[in-house]
Chains A and B, each alone.
Chain A
Amino acid sequence: MANSKTPSGKPRIGVYVCHCGTNIAGVVDVEDVANWSAEELKDIGVVLSRDNKFMCSSQGQELIESDIKEFGLNRVVVAACSPHLHEKTFRGACERAGMNPFFCEMASIREQVSWVTKDKKKATEKSKSMVAGAVNRVVYHEALEPIKVPINPTTLIVGGGIAGIQAALEIANTGHEVYLVEREPSIGGHMAQFDKTFPTLDCSACILTPRMSEVGMHPNINLLTWSEVENVDGFVGNFDVTIRKKSRCVIEEDCTGCGICVQKCPITVIDDEFGVGIGTRKAIYTPFDQAIPNYPVLDKENCTYFIKGTCRACEKFCATNAIDFEQQDEIINVTVGNIILATGYDLFDARKMPNYGYGRYPNVFTSMEFERLCNAAGPTNGEIVLRDGVTAPKSVAIVHCVGSRDKNHNNYCSAICCMQSLKFAHIVYERTGAEIHNFYIDIRTTAKNYDEFYQRVLDEGTLFVRGKVAEITDVPQNEAEEGKLIVQAEDTLAGLQRRIPVDMVILSVGLEPKGDSDEVAHQFGISCSSNGWFTEKHPKLDPVSTMTEGIFIAGCATGPKDIPASVSQGSAAAARVISYIEMGELELEPVRASVIEEICSGCKICNDLCPYNAIIFIEDKQVTEINEALCQGCGTCVAACPAGAIVGTGFSNEQILAQIEGLMMDFSVPEVV
């Protein structure tokens, strides 16, 4: 019925069916598909059709190029792998031969056919439909020109853990400006909480703090701690970011970081943040001694002055008058070209497994509590004692996989807990000589020097019980269990139930996505997996990019990993950003949505839907408009617009319907029953 656009020029289509070695040809009769296309799709405009061993090889690409020139092709269909993989390759070949690259269409007969269809006959038929769909569609393709955007050389990094720190330094060292936004009073992330790091047992602070101070002093890094990103607008090359710098009640320019205010503050509270409830801090505090930056933060909820209106001890003693009780939050607007999200992880809440007694039995600790306990800069100066603060444990149980690899909680492996549990076993052995039991499901020590570390811990005499712990209880069944915590587990190697009485239990809780990862993903226009980790553009080939151009991800924000992997990702994301900055300008896929003004009724149905905030309403005309540079061509609004007023380049009604018609084409010879 509606407006059917006639294709520009009479189509002369070349069809190329790829064998992909045996990947496709092993299941699909590629020669038959090629011959069939030449014969049956002639009327639509197919002038030649070939099959070829590897279309993506230089020889395959040259074939397309020479055919375009020799046979005057104006459309190309490549039936091969997913366009995610090789669309660029084949578009490139077309472009080299002088054709607009957007006249090239792919039919994914590998991912969508040969890899998922066993029956050879059906796979061949299905490939024919896919080719027919692509041929029918490509007729309606239009010449498109890529959109060019300039890249602002400043970068925003969100999250100052080791991954964010690494990325910030890499970029800043190339001479480009970085804004590093960290939610907590200091950068450092989880690594700052540890005593030692596996497998080398370096002191965590010793390797981390030099990096932290480098960040603090770097002329190209604008460090904004105790800050949060409030709003992000814009698109790759040109993001407008609003940052809220929360009030510290301390004037940074005047503070020398002497710490006298902290000393003089009369209020001591449990440190639930950095100290995970083990240890204390003052109402004005820096989370740890080597904090960067080292100006303190005033905790208004616990400060006597804010509660009762008197005290002001800190203000009195501050030599430089740096305390400002009236200080307000500050709103900072910056424009950046690229953004790296390195927001890290949270830990599984051990209370969700009441059978392990965390929160009920004082001597059941979480892994992070233990990190603080054994930390030389922690509340006990690194002495390993029970919750009473004095008694050294004589026996310790370390439980792996708490909340990980567990249908009821997180089905994934948290990747670091095996090594972290082995690290704890070693530390306990070294400092207490206690008897140690590690309860594990499988030991996963795959990275460099990890298994060697495992051997070392075995040699030290740690006992390993293979089996998931069923329960931790303080109800004794015999004298030996009296006054102890009893760890009950099935020893799957010995094939028996064990009850092991111990003084202390450490739960190696799993890693979880940040509690606000969904909101952060939404704010930056990226997506999360069903588990909540940020989704990569490609899990193998592009692990630090996202589907949104200009937004990169690094570290544990994309999934559990150890420090070396987090650092590598920080560097990788930085490299991606630096290459964009060096390019100065980026070509974007011109697959975009636009509104036909006369058709739009201004119903506003689409107005709140764009994941990239590309949709704006023009009040005086009462119509909707789409910002071309912001739009990523996702198609959400195209589908939603009830008036059909939004068209997606590359996804027009004509193209989609033609493709469906091709796919539905009935060419099978009826089976004889």
Chain B
Amino acid sequence: MTGKPKFAMYWAASCGGCEIATLNMHEKILDFDANFKVVFWPVAMDAKYKDVEAMEDGEILVTLFNGGIRNSENEHIAKLLRKKSQILVSFGSCAIEGGIPGLANLTEMHHFFDTVYTTVSTDNTNNHRPQVEYDMPEGKITIPEFKPVLQTLDQVVDVDYYMPGCPPETHQIAAVIDVLISVVKGEAVLPPKGSFLGVGNSTVCDECGRTRNLKKITEFKRIQDIKKIDPDLCLIEQGILCNGPATASGCESKCPSVNAPCAGCYGPAIGVKDFGARMITAIASVIDAEDPDEIERIMDGIIDPAGTFYRFGLANSMMRTGKASWNGK
């Protein structure tokens, strides 16, 4: 290969936080620039899809892909970058698990459009909906087509590595970039395909400094309803739903260390298949009641179960894996 290895970063259905976290590396970016040639990174520099289309297959060494696959454009670029890249990294919660945009999978597409195009603040008296194609005097114009569900990157293309977080922590990104540089220099080898990068083996609790005791939940509370949160006691024991127990470690327990429950952005820990199911069974196991009515009352304290337990992972959950039914062959 001649010249510096090529690098790309792309955003599909995501918020841009992943890009910011990456750029947040400060002077590390110079190291990065010394070792890679950025060929495609819409957020950071101008580039055209057709430039990528013109590349040789496998011409890009590594692509960090963030965001889920929400529309036909996302899907097209995912497939394109897969073809052009030697290493495709599913980067950030949305690419890996669907993330916040994946919560839209709870409703059907037309409801989704209704919500967006008929809000009070929307001036849409003719009740229009976006059309994929439209004939204009100048000719036909098209926009990307919305897909019925948001899919994760690996439901659409083959993925080499995963790097979770919403967004991934900058220090973890920097460390991964360091590894990549050493690999390029021939000083290190790549981890096995399918590995999760920039995460620990255990869960957020492992990095959380709060004291833990036997858990017996008699009531769920929201943080805004609590006068004073005990800064030293496990949040779950204070009735606050914290996703720390099922979330992969790696963030240094950022949220619990400032009295906010873990939202679960680092995704499922190594041994966890379905994040929400895990959290629900775990929490249900420690509800301290026998009487069905009492259990019901306690459970009613969970205001938004899907948004709490599947905030990031709905699109990747077992309920919606997007996997076609198996035919035995």
Q: Which residues of A contact B (CB under 8 A)?
A: 1-3, 40-41, 43, 132, 596, 598-609, 636, 639-645, 647, 653, 657, 661-662, 664-667
Known: A602-B205, A644-B273. A665 touches B327 (CB 8 A): yes
When the two chains form the complex, which single residue of A601, A640, A653, A666 contacts B273, counting CB atoms closer than 8 Å?
A653
**A601 B202 Cβ-Cβ under 8 A:** yes
B285-A640 in contact (CB<8A): yes
Which residues of the partner chain A approach B282 to less than 8 Å between Cβ atoms? 605, 640-642
14 more CB-based (< 8 A) A-B contacts, given A601-B204, A666-B325: A1-B273, A599-B202, A599-B203, A603-B244, A604-B214, A607-B214, A639-B285, A642-B246, A642-B278, A643-B272, A644-B270, A644-B271, A666-B326, A667-B328
**Known contacts A601-B206, A608-B216; is A661 also within 8 Å of B278 by CB?**
no
B205:A609 contact, CB within 8 angstroms: no
Given contacts A598-B201, A665-B326, contact A603 B271 (CB under 8 A): no
B197 to chain A, nearest CB (A): 13
Indicate with 1 or 0, residue by residue over B263-303, a CB within 8 angstroms of chain A CB atoms: 00000111111000011011001100000000000000000
- Tell whether B26 is near chain A: CB-to-CB under 8 Å: no
Q: Which chain A residues border B214 with CB–CB below 8 Å?
A: 604, 607-608
* In the complex, residue of chain A having the shortest beta-carbon distance to the beta carbon of B213: A604
User: Would you give the shortest CB distance from A599 to chain B, in whole angstroms?
Assistant: 5
Q: Chain B interface secondary structure, helix, strand, loop or mixed? A: loop
- Is the Cβ of A601 less than 8 Å from the Cβ of B327? no
Partner of B212, one of A41, A598, A599, A603: A603
Q: Contact: B245 with A643, CB < 8 Å?
A: yes
For A598, list chain B residues within 8 Å (CB): 201-202
A656, closest chain B residue (CB): B273
CA distance A645 to B246 in the complex (A): 10
Q: Contact at B203–A603, with CB atoms within 8 Å?
A: yes
Indicate whether B249 reaches chain A with its CB closer than 8 angstroms: yes
Contact A643 to B328, CB < 8 A, known contacts A602-B206, A608-B215: no
Contact of B285 among A609, A647, A666 (CB under 8 A): A609
Alpha-carbon distance between A40 and B282 when the two chains are bound, in angstroms: 38
Residues in B neighbouring A132, C-beta threshold 8 A: 328
- As a 0/1 sequence over residues 226 to 250 of chain B, the CB contacts with chain A under 8 angstroms (1 = contact) are 0000000010100000001110010
Instruction: Please pick, from A600, A639, A665, the residue contacting B328 in the complex, using a CB distance under 8 A.
Output: A665
Chain B residues, Cβ within 8 Å of A636? 285
- From A1, A606, A636, A645, name the one whose CB has the most chain B CB atoms within 10 angstroms: A1
Interface pairs (27), CB distance under 8 Å: A1-B162, A1-B268, A2-B271, A2-B273, A41-B328, A43-B329, A599-B201, A599-B270, A599-B271, A601-B203, A601-B244, A601-B249, A604-B215, A605-B282, A606-B285, A608-B214, A641-B282, A642-B203, A642-B278, A643-B246, A643-B271, A644-B270, A644-B278, A645-B271, A662-B326, A665-B325, A665-B327
- B273-A642 in contact (CB<8A): no
Chain B residues in the interface with A (C-beta under 8 A): 162, 194, 201-206, 212-216, 234, 236, 244-246, 249, 268-273, 278-279, 281-282, 285-286, 325-329
B212 lies within 8 A of A602 (CB): yes
Pick from A605, A639, A666, A667 the residue with the most CB of B within 10 Å.
A605
Contacts of A644 in B (CB 8 A): 246, 268-273, 278
Task: Please name all residues of chain A whose beta carbon is closer than 8 Å to the beta carbon of B244 when the two chains form the complex.
Answer: 601, 603
B153 to A: closest C-beta gap in Å: 12
Evaluate contact between A639 and B281: CB separation under 8 angstroms. Answer: yes
| Closest A residue by C-beta to B323 | A661
Among residues of A, the one whose C-beta sits closest to the C-beta of B248 is A643
B205–A601 touching, CB < 8 Å: yes
Closest CB in chain A relative to B318 CB, distance in Å:
9
Instruction: Chain B residues near A608: list those with CB within 8 A.
Output: 214-216, 286
Q: How far is the CB of A140 from chain B (nearest CB, A)?
A: 14
Most-contacted residue by chain B among A605, A636, A642, A667 (CB, 10 A): A642
* Least Cβ–Cβ distance between A198 and chain B, in angstroms: 39
The residue from A599, A602, A647, A662 contacting B269, defined by CB atoms under 8 A apart: A599
Min CB gap A557→B, angstroms: 22
Residues of B within 8 A of A600 (CB): 202
In the complex, how many angstroms separate the beta carbon of A281 from the nearest chain B beta carbon?
Answer: 37
A647 to B325, CA, bound (A): 27
User: Complex Cα distance A667/B282, Å?
Assistant: 35
Chain A neighbourhood of B162, CB < 8 A: 1
Contact partners of A643 in chain B: CB under 8 A: 202-203, 205, 245-246, 269, 271-272
**Which chain A positions have C-beta within 8 A of B281?**
639-640, 642
* Highest count of chain B CB atoms <10 Å: which of A603, A609, A664: A603
Contact status B203-A605, CB under 8 Å? no
B216 cross-chain contacts in A, Cβ below 8 A: 608
Task: Write the chain A residue with the least CB distance to B201.
Answer: A598
Complex alpha-carbon distance, A605 and B288, angstroms = 12
| Chain A contacts for B202, CB-based, 8 A | 598-601, 643, 645
Beta-carbon contact of B203 and A604 below 8 Å = no
With A642-B278, A644-B273: A666-B215 Cβ-Cβ less than 8 Å: no
A609–B283 Cα gap in the complex (Å)?
12
Q: In the assembly, what is the distance between CA of A2 and CA of B213, in Å?
A: 29
Chain B: which residue is nearest A640 at the CB level? B285
Residues of A close to B325: CB separation below 8 A: 664-666
- Residues of chain B contacted by A599 (CB below 8 angstroms): 201-203, 269-271
